[in-house]
Amino acid sequence: MIITKHRFKFSRISHFLAGLTLVVSPICATAQTTSSPTPAPVPAETTATGQAASVGVLVDGTVMVGELATVPAPTLTARAWLTLDVNSGQFIASQNPDEKVEPASLTKLMTAYLVFEAIEDKRLSLDQTVNISEKAWKTEGSRMFVKPNTQVSVSDLLQGLIVQSGNDATVALAEAVAGSETAFVALMNEEAAKQGLKDTHFVNSTGLPDPAHLTTVRDLAVMAKNIVTKHPQHLHYYSQKEFTYNKIKQNNRNRLLWTDPTVDGLKTGHTSSAGYCLVATALRDGRRVVSVIVGASSDGARIENSLKLLNWSFQNFDTIKLFDNTKPAVMARVWEGQAETVGLGGLEPMWVTVPRGKGPEVKPVAQYTQPLIAPLKNGAKVGTVSLSLDGKLLRQESLYVLDDVPEAGFFGRMYDKVRLMFE
């Protein structure tokens, strides 16, 4: 076994350090979907170079897993599209993922996210009432039909924003969170930067057309993933099929809610310049996928394209859990400590998406600093683990110490110092 390490300036005779005593634990990987086979245990290996082999199209060196599939992605009639596995966070496949596009009412994903954040931070409450300003009332486009200078609850306004896509409700909530829509837009762009949405810039909270109001399908998928992972308690708004306010009933424009019972969100968008857009999400057997379609020619086209993309993503890929904080990726040798080994792994469960049936072929490669000298603290970052398939990097995550290892006594430390000199 060859070991990756960062060299310490101890002595030239300690180059390989504790390599021969490294203990590798099997990784118990289980299929996420009930119809998928359970992969065999996969050993975590180490490399001598410290670099995982990777050939990919993404900035971080990883590939879209769809490139490794034998079943090609469906042919879609849209300007740009993307599909993402929420459990693993991996992009499955895409077309024009980084092309700048108008988000139209998909903008309201970010608007709703910031309202959810304000609710969680107790800056807003669902039963709190909001005054409807003249500006909110006059906002053009789709409407909830609120009246000016009336008090409307945050809960009703959220349904107006999400179910009815009301621009009047959207501006009212923006003003409730930040005092004005202008200030709220500044928060939107600040949050976009925080989420790593490098190609997104907001000019308003609603998605009304503006030459500078742009995003990408990649960024839209990340927005959607962050909503369903960070604010799942509010996801029910996106599966709500209708909402009546001021005696006016409006249906949710996401017709997938009637077509596929596994679909429970998220948001439609449409302007004459943006075309028909839809960010959808479905949950099947515990696995969640997000699809993004922009620039379709009609409502029917965005529904058909989205359903094709969701079905292809579920039917041709597995998402498996390789290890978590109870199943370390590797057992590593510890020096000068009260324990001789410690588990290294992720603080959260680590999932990976692969073409169906390819789970047993995933190759984890652990890379971490050698030697590990006590004391070690639970949660300390010491390296990375790379997950590869067919020589291509799928994802890379940090390795953390999973247990405290106190420092040994004086004689124990001296004994290990001598042993290290001869390793």
The answer to whether 156 and 164 are in contact (CB under 8 A) is no
Q: Is there a catalytic annotation at residue 247?
A: no
The response to whether 267 counts as a known ligand-binding position is: yes
Beta bridge partners of 265: 281
The answer to whether 29 and 359 are in contact (CB under 8 A) is yes
d(CA 186, CA 189): 5
d(CA 168, CA 182): 15
The answer to whether 398 and 346 are in contact (CB under 8 A) is yes
From the candidates 88, 94, 165, 386, give the one annotated as an active-site residue: 165
Mapping DSSP onto H, E and C, the string for 115-126 reads: HHHHHHCCCCCC
From the candidates 105, 133, 205, 313, give the one annotated as an active-site residue: 105
How many of the other CB atoms lie within 10 Å of CB of 192?
21
- CA 251 from centroid of its chain's CA atoms: 29
Q: Is there a catalytic annotation at residue 398?
A: no
19 phi and psi, to 5 degrees? -55, -45
d(CA 27, CA 356): 19
Q: Is there a catalytic annotation at residue 165?
A: yes
Question: Which residues, other chains included, contact 315 with Cβ-Cβ below 8 Å and sequence gap of 6+?
Answer: 356
How many residues in the chain?
423
Burial class (CB in 10 A: 0-12, 13-18, 19+), 413: middle
From the candidates 108, 225, 327, 358, give the one annotated as an active-site residue: 108
d(CA 43, CA 338): 26
The answer to whether 268 and 251 are in contact (CB under 8 A) is no
> What residues form the annotated binding site?
267
> What residues form the annotated binding site for substrate?
267
Catalytic residue positions? Answer: 105, 108, 165
